[in-house]
Structures are given as structure tokens and as C-alpha cells.
Amino acid sequence: MLTIRKNDTVKVMAGKDRGKTGRVLSTDPARKRITVEQVMVIKRHTRPNPQKSIKGGIVERESTIHISNVMLVCPSCGPTRPKVQTHPDGKKTRACRKCGNSLD
């Protein structure tokens, strides 16, 4: 189970893009990797395909980054490690370890 989900705000803690923050675009739980907006931008050489209306050339796009290199950003206190809170009715939610606010 990943504690980081799509549309969460994360901060990169390690790697060439250290210090950048961005929104999570997609997750890959099997490989424990995520795609973050404007982080780990790579250049991809693309062949033109007129049938799919794809222009050829060098395209920049985001690549995946390992989940251990990012931290979830709490809206009130900044980067934090999330914890899983279990409510009396059995429902589980993510919460900030620093301030205790819910992240869901």
C-alpha cells in the first residue's frame, strides 16, 4: 500500500531535482514509483506518426521517481511522513505525524 496517491503534493528530498515540489500525476504501486509534475523531466526522441497526428522531434516529459525520494507535504506544516489513523468505525485515513491533521 502506498501512502502517496494521485493529486497529492510532494517534495523531492533526493536526486537531481532535490527541493522541488509538485503534484503527483500517476502512481505505480508494483514498482513503487510515481510521476511528479515538472520533476525528472527527460528528453524523448519521437518518430512522426501522421495516422495518430504525432509530430516528430524531441519531446520533454516527466519520468518516474522512486517513492523513497519524496515526502508528502502537509498543507499546514510542510513535508511530513504520513501515518495511518484507524477510526472507531474501522475506516482508515492518512494523517500528518507533526500536527495530526487528516491528509485525505
Give the CATH number, domain containing residue 59.
Answer: 2.30.30.30
pLDDT of residue 1: 63
Nearest to 39 by CA among 14, 63, 70, 74: 63
pLDDT digits (tens, 9 = 90+) for 1-33: 678 999 999 999 999 999 999 999 999 999 999
- Looking at the domain assignment, is residue 32 inside a domain? yes
- Looking at the domain assignment, is residue 84 inside a domain? no
- Looking at the domain assignment, is residue 103 inside a domain? no
Whole domain around residue 47: which residue ranges?
9-74
What is the model's pTM? 0.85
Number of domains in the chain: 1
